[in-house]
Amino acid sequence: MAIPDSKKIYPRRGDDTIVYLKNVITNSNIEVGEFTFYNDFVNNPKDFEKNNVLYHYQINHDKLKIGKFCSIACGAKFLFNSANHTMHSLSTYPFPIFYDEWDHGIWADKAWDNKGDIIIGNDVWIGYEAVILAGVKIGDGAIIGARAVVTKDVPPYTIVGGVPAKFIRKRFSDEVIDALLRLKWWELPPDRILERIKYIQSGNIQALIDMT
């Protein structure tokens, strides 16, 4: 049996709508784990940085960090800090970024509120046209519903949906969630994951534990 190759751009033969995201990223402020894929049937998925990571200006040094084995659906967006016009001023108008017109010696990053990085765990599924806002952390194994707008952190193995996104339910019992967070199967080499796939897909947590 062939070992999966995380170095490919297109993991599915004859399908140019899906890419292994890590292999098309050029921005040093975007980090993506192995085997995470992005699917786009509207635009070229290789243009993820341009079309899906928005308001991500170098002046902020904010980062997008995505773990391994994540599934990112078409049109998902990550909105960074420059989209957050400041609420600490008497006006939300971003005077500092129009420095040619309103040069008053204040750096452009004062035009918005900096809420921090966006951090996505491992084995996260982000649904069609979902939006993740700056400063949000999404735990391992979480599911983000289609067109959800995520404004707050999402715990591991939790399903959220809606605008703004709200808790729907946990995917598993607390005992199973704790076991999965201990096992961290996504950290294993591909050949060892292959040995465990039948148990991962069938939901046999005890078999996974027995193999450790």
Residues acting as catalytic residues: 85
160 and 206 part of one domain: no
Number of separate domains in the chain: 2
Reading the chain (212 residues) residue by residue, the pLDDT tens digits are: 678 889 999 999 999 999 999 999 999 999 999 999 999 999 999 999 999 999 998 888 899 999 999 999 999 999 999 999 988 889 999 888 888 888 877 777 788 888 999 999 999 999 999 999 999 999 999 999 999 999 999 999 999 999 999 999 999 999 999 999 999 999 999 999 999 999 999 999 999 999 98
Buried b or exposed e, range 62-72, using 16+ CB within 10 angstroms:
bbbebbbbbbb
What is the structure's pLDDT at 97? 84
What is the structure's pLDDT at 1? 64
53 and 143 part of one domain: yes
Q: Is residue 146 part of a domain?
A: yes
What is the structure's pLDDT at 110? 81
Q: Is residue 45 part of a domain?
A: yes
What is the structure's pLDDT at 180? 98
* Domain limits for position 188: 173-212
147 and 102 part of one domain: yes
187: Cβ–Cβ under 8 A, 6 or more apart, which residues?
A: 68
73 and 105 part of one domain: yes
191 and 158 part of one domain: no
